[in-house]
Structure 1
Amino acid sequence: KNKDGNKIVIDNRNAQFYSLPWTITYDNKSMDTYNPKISELVRSIIPTEFNNYGKLLGGELIFKLIEEEIVDNLEYKNGH
């Protein structure tokens, strides 16, 4: 929350695997993201005693699998 009262909310209420997707809300607009950097950001902010702190890294594995699936299914213009 800034000095003007604007705030960014990062939550994972809709996540099935602890941290993905993250939902980022600002100015009544929301977006979902699968970026593991958000998991890293949240882990750097919350205390290690936080419930499920250790499971937040599960998102990185899921992101890597999604990334691999996308790369594996790409069709390149030169046929390779």
Structure 2
Amino acid sequence: MTTPEQRHQLYLKQVALLDTFLEKHAITRAQYEKSFHDLTEKMGEPLPEASEKQELPQDPPQEPSPNQDTQVKQEGEPQ
């Protein structure tokens, strides 16, 4: 296998790893997009056109944290 072929295979493996991270919600869509763009540039691969880009899973809806939209009641305050 030639060096360009090896480089392309490594690129495909790295993109697959990024896809897995996104699917498992280990990274956000914004992190994925930045990493994908940076990897593609550094590896010398052509950036895909918007129409060529594969459909990626959506980020999960964010659950409100327990502290959001709740008021902490102080001792002695009426309820």
TM range (shorter): 0.3 to 0.5
Greater RCO, 1 or 2 (C-alpha within 8 Å, sep 6+): 2
TM-score under structure 2 length normalisation: 0.33
**For the pair shown, which has the larger CA radius of gyration, 1 or 2?**
2
If the length of structure 1 is used for normalisation, what is the TM-score? 0.33
Higher percent of residues as helix: 2
The answer to which structure has the higher strand fraction is: 1
